[in-house]
Amino acid sequence: MNINLSNGFAKAQTKFFRFLADKFFARRYGHRAVVLETIAGVPGMVAGMWIHLKSLRQMRTGYGPMIRELLAEAENERMHLMFFIEIAKPNVFERWLILAAQAIFWNYYFVLYVCSPTTAHLMVHHFEEEAVKSYTSYLNMVESGSVENVPAPKLAIDYYGLKETAKLNDLIKCVRADEQRHAVANAKFAKKRQPELARGIAFVDLPPERCESEEAQGRRDAA
């Protein structure tokens, strides 16, 4: 697929999903995080599985780092879900929505990845940039006092190596840093396939967070 078409399609898809999320959740960011993290855990698993199968079919080495990075992304997103499920419990309707969204999105992303991996990575790149913006809005609400700054779940404290006194705002900063890393990683995968993208992708700037997720540690160990 032509690269401008790929990026245009990826951006349009992201705008469409963002529109749906804004309409449905508005500023209920805890619930928004729970439902969207169930979807965010899909692309890394689909892409990692597909590259794994490709390596088997071609009987070639060299795919290991990419497979591990994609599967680590999926696992990291699953952990985000585990953290936010302790902050906001989904209602019955949201549970049905999660089921339907997974059934549709898994198949959709699989077909997209097989047909155009570049478009698929670009779409995830744009999704992750939107996630960074959404978590920034959530953080602003917590820090301004309009959402209670409850203690961070124990699971998150252990995962990120946070202080025992860590709060929701500390957790959001760490999750946001993970989303930023996913945005960069997916742009890198897309650029590898289409080098002409190199100057076409900008990133949301974030202050560096002092979060050492197991995903980040795994990457450092593997490097």
Nearer to Fe ion, 166 or 174 (CB): 174
Query: Minimum CB separation from Fe ion for residue 5, in Å?
Result: 25
The span from the CA of 207 to the CA of 173, in Å, is 10
Please choose, out of 63-71, 100-108, 125-133, 199-207, the segment that lies near Fe ion by the rule CB under 5 A. Answer: 125-133
Radius of gyration of the chain (CA): 17
User: Hey, CA dihedral for 17, 107, 74, 64, is it positive or negative?
Assistant: negative
Nearer to Fe ion, 3 or 105 (CB): 105
Nearer to Fe ion, 181 or 191 (CB): 181
Work out which of 10, 182, 191, 201 binds Fe ion, going by CB under 5 A: 182
CB 48 within 8 A of CB 70: yes
By the rule CB under 5 A, 40 interacts with Fe ion: yes
Work out which of 77, 94, 130, 170 binds Fe ion, going by CB under 5 A: 77
The span from the CA of 53 to the CA of 59, in Å, is 10
User: Hey, CA dihedral for 35, 41, 42, 43, is it positive or negative?
Assistant: positive
Binding site for Fe ion (CB under 5 A): 37, 40, 77, 80, 128, 179, 182
